[in-house]
Structure 1
Amino acid sequence: MRIITISLAALALTACETYSSSPYMASTQNVIDIEDRVGEARVRLGDFSSDPEVNDRPICRLTAPLDVSPGVPVSEYVRQAMLTELHQARVHSSSADTVIEGTLDRLAFSATGTGSWGFTLSLRSNRHPDGYTVSSEHAFSTSFDGHMACTNGINAFAPAVSTLINAAVNHPEFPRLAGAQ
């Protein structure tokens, strides 16, 4: 009986591993693209929300949750990442008339075969109420070993968000969204 209890306790402890993402770092390319596309316009970010179907803690290989946005909803992680990019590009102003809002419509994750993160994000502003929607896919290397595959997956999350932001700021409607047109 004691061996069974110890075995169950060991199994429970090993199954409770959680992988957490790193803080977001601005992408030089995204910052340059924002500066080039927005010019002198200034924006502020409003609320970002998630579709109710978006899972903020996807499971990696049916064993471990991925804490992609420690302490905040994943939509807020995306918002803060975009805010970081806008600040670096000197485009964000808390008093700007143009307010950009967003909805994270899809978050997809796979750590089998070629790993990938997938996103769909809808953006709108008071200058462009209909807004637009972008989707992005970001591939990463996985591994036969589950631990390494999940580690690679969580390490690819911030770069995947950068890929999403790149798609958003390079959309043909971004200058209009930002009030630059």
Structure 2
Amino acid sequence: MKQCKFALVAAICATGVLLTGCETTNSIPYKASASNVIAIQQSLQSKKVSVSDVGMAPGVDESPLCRLMGPVKVAPGKTLSQYIKDAFQEELLMAQAYDVKGAPIQGRIEELSFSSVSPAYWQITMAVQSPADKGYKVSVKYPFDTSFTAMGACKNVADAFGPAVQELLKQVVTNPQFPKLSGK
């Protein structure tokens, strides 16, 4: 009888670990920022650009873990760098400044980290360059609210990634050197 109780308790504990041990979080889809679109239009005027690649610098984690819940997934089927590339393309498309034959801008994520405890934030640093210009580096520390529970905090981490990327891209497109990437 004692062995049956022990086996039952062990089974319940194992089930609990399996159900809570490795959840992933997904954020909301990226939405272009009106202020970024206007900044691109004013900066590039009639020039067209493309985004050739956004990659990770060596040592930058593409799948950061949030507490004990597992990796933060910002969009189903997309890596963090793919999300940033797609977001940059969306901003350029909305500004009518994107052309696959335009000057190719390349991005490189130099730093990508977050804190899910107070004060919660995303820290993202990206270098941009093109064949026309050696480029520059921008950085953003985007604050957001957190939660006491792991599930709530990690959901907030994923949900804050889109606005953090908007702010990062704002730093890219409002930089005085941005027009030089197009070959201006």
TM-score range, shorter chain: over 0.9
8 Å CA contact 1:56–1:68 kept in 2: the answer is no
Letter in 2 for 1:104: I
TM-score between both structures, scaled by the size of structure 2: 0.91
Aligned ranges for residues 10-21 of structure 1 at < 5 Å? 10-21=16-27
Given the superposition, is the C-alpha separation of residues 91 and 123 from structure 1 closer, same or farther in structure 2, using an over 3 Å criterion?
same
- What is the CA-CA distance between 1:145 and the residue it aligns to? 2.4
- The CA RMSD over aligned residues, in Å, is 1.3
* Structure 1 equivalent of residue 3 of structure 2: none
Aligned ranges for residues 1-181 of structure 1 at < 5 Å? 1-96=7-102, 98-128=103-133, 130-179=134-183, 181=184
8 Å CA contact 2:69–2:151 kept in 1: the answer is no
CA–CA distance in structure 1, aligned partners of residues 14 and 58 of structure 2: 35
Letter in 2 for 1:44: S
Letter in 2 for 1:89: A
Letter in 1 for 2:73: D
CA–CA distance in structure 2, aligned partners of residues 62 and 5 of structure 1: 21
Q: Write out per-residue CA displacement over residues 2-56 of structure 1, whole angstroms, 9 at most, x where no aligned residue.
A: 2202211221211121101222111111101111111011111112211132222
CA–CA distance in structure 2, aligned partners of residues 109 and 68 of structure 1: 13
Give ranges in structure 2 of 5+ residues lacking alignment: 1-6
- What is the CA-CA distance between 1:84 and the residue it aligns to? 0.1
8 Å CA contact 1:75–1:104 kept in 2: the answer is yes
- What is the CA-CA distance between 1:163 and the residue it aligns to? 0.6
Give ranges in structure 1 of 5+ residues lacking alignment: none
- What is the CA-CA distance between 1:69 and the residue it aligns to? 4.2
8 Å CA contact 1:19–1:67 kept in 2: the answer is yes
Q: Write out per-residue CA displacement over residues 72-99 of structure 1, whole angstroms, 9 at most, x where no aligned residue.
A: 3321211110000000000001222x11
SS at match of 1:112: coil
Given the superposition, is the C-alpha separation of residues 118 and 19 from structure 1 closer, same or farther in structure 2, using an over 3 Å criterion?
same
CA–CA distance in structure 2, aligned partners of residues 126 and 3 of structure 1: 63
Identity, in percent, stands at 36
TM-score between both structures, scaled by the size of structure 1: 0.92
* Structure 1 equivalent of residue 4 of structure 2: none
- What is the CA-CA distance between 1:127 and the residue it aligns to? 1.0
CA–CA distance in structure 2, aligned partners of residues 117 and 26 of structure 1: 19
